[in-house]
Amino acid sequence: MATTARKDTTAVLEERDRQRRRTAERLLASSAKLSFDPLKDVDWASEPVPGAYYITPHRISLYGTELWERLSEEQRIELSKHEVACVASVGIWFEEILMQMLLRHAFDRDPTTAHVQYALTEIADECRHSVMFARMIAWMGAPAYGPGRLAHELGRVFKAISTHSQTFGGTMYVEEILDAFQREMTADESLQPLSRQVARIHVIEESRHITYAREELVRQDLGPVRRRVEQLLMGIVIHVATTHLINPRVYAAVGIDPKEGRRAARRNPHWRAAKTEMAAKVVGVLDRAGLVGRTNRWLLRGAGIV
C-alpha cells in the first residue's frame, strides 16, 4: 500500500516537473523571439502631443465625481498624466519586490533547468521595465509618487519572507491589474503615443510572466489550514496593492486637496467599477487556485474589487 502511494506521489511530482519544463522552454523561446530594449524602442526625444490624454478619462480615479466636473479640460489631462506616472511608480515598487522574490525562487533551485532560467529572464525583463517606467515618469516631468510610506515598508517585509503562493499569487495580481489598464491604453489611438508605446512593450512581455505565475500557482496543492493562512496573507497583499495604486498627492497637481481627492475617489462608483472590472479575470484565477475564500473576501471587498 505504502509503496504504491509513494509511487503515485513520485509520478505526480515527475509530471509536475515535466509541465514546468515545457512551460519554461516555451516562454524562453518566446522571449528570444520578441523582447524589447526600452532605451532604444521608445522615442524619448518626442514631445507630448498637445490636448491628448495619457489614459482614457473614464479610468481616472475622479472621473464622474463633482470634483471632476469642476476641472477644466487641461486640468483633466494633467491629472491623467499624474495618475499614469503614479501607477508607473507603484509598478516600479512592485517590480523591485518581484525581482527579489524571483531571485529567492531561483536561489534554491537548479540553474541548469529551463524553469530557473526563465525566472532569471523574467528578472531581466522587470529590470528593463523599471528603467522604462522611471524614464517615462521623468519624461512627463512628474514626481515618482510611489505607494506611500506604509505600503513601502510592508513591501520591504513581504519581499523578504513571502511564500511560494504569495510570490506567484501577488505577482499575478499586480501584473494582471496593470495589464488590464495597459491593454486598453494600447487600443486607444487618441492617447499620448509615448505612454501607449510603453504600455505596448509592457503588455507583450508581461503576458509571459502571467503565464509563468499562473501555472506555478495552479500546480501547487495546499492543505486546508495552510490554505486559510495563504488566503489571509493574499488578501492583505491585494488590499494594500489596490488601495495604494493612486497616491493622493497626485490631486495636488491640479489644485485639489489630497485628502478631499482621496475621499472622492474612494466613494466614486466609477472608480470602484473600473477596479472590479480590471480585477475580474485575476480574481477568477486566484479563486481556482484556492486563494480566495471566506478568510479574505472581506479584504477584497474593502479594496473595491469584488
Site residues (vs Fe ion, CB under 5 A): 126, 129, 175, 206, 209
Nearer to Fe ion by Cβ, of 71 and 238: the residue is 238
Residue with cell 498627492: 249
Spatial separation of the C-alpha atoms in residues 113 and 16, rounded to whole Å: 14
**Inter-residue contact 130 to 95 (CB < 8 Å):** yes
CB of 298 to Fe ion, least distance (A): 28
Cβ 61 to Fe ion, closest distance in Å? 22
Rg (CA), the chain: 20
| 75 alpha-carbon distance from chain centroid | 27
Q: Name the minimum Å distance from CB 217 to Fe ion.
A: 14
How near is the Cβ of 178 to Fe ion at its closest, in Å?
7
Closest approach, Cβ 263 to Fe ion, in A, equals 31
- Decide whether 145 or 168 has the Cβ nearer to Fe ion: 168
- Residue 78 or residue 95: which is nearer to Fe ion going by CB? 95
Minimum CB distance to Fe ion smaller for 71 or for 289: 289
Q: Cα–Cα–Cα angle for 59, 62, 185, nearest 5°?
A: 15
CA–CA distance, 94 with 175 (Å, rounded to integer)? 9
Q: Which pairs from 119-128 meet CB under 8 Å and 24+ separation? A: 119/212, 121/27, 121/28, 121/31, 122/208, 122/209, 122/212, 123/99, 125/31, 125/35, 125/205, 125/208, 125/209, 126/95, 126/98, 126/99, 126/102, 126/209, 127/99, 128/36, 128/37, 128/38
* Shortest Å, Cβ 145 to Fe ion: 18
Nearer to Fe ion, 184 or 206 (CB): 206
In the bound state with Fe ion, the residue whose beta carbon lies nearer, of 12 and 29, is 29
> In the complex with Fe ion, which residue's Cβ is closer, 77 or 185?
185
Q: Does an H or E element contain 241, and which?
A: helix 224-243
Distance CA 188, CA 197 (A): 11
Q: What is the largest CA-CA distance in the chain?
A: 75
* Least separation in angstroms between CB 13 and Fe ion: 27
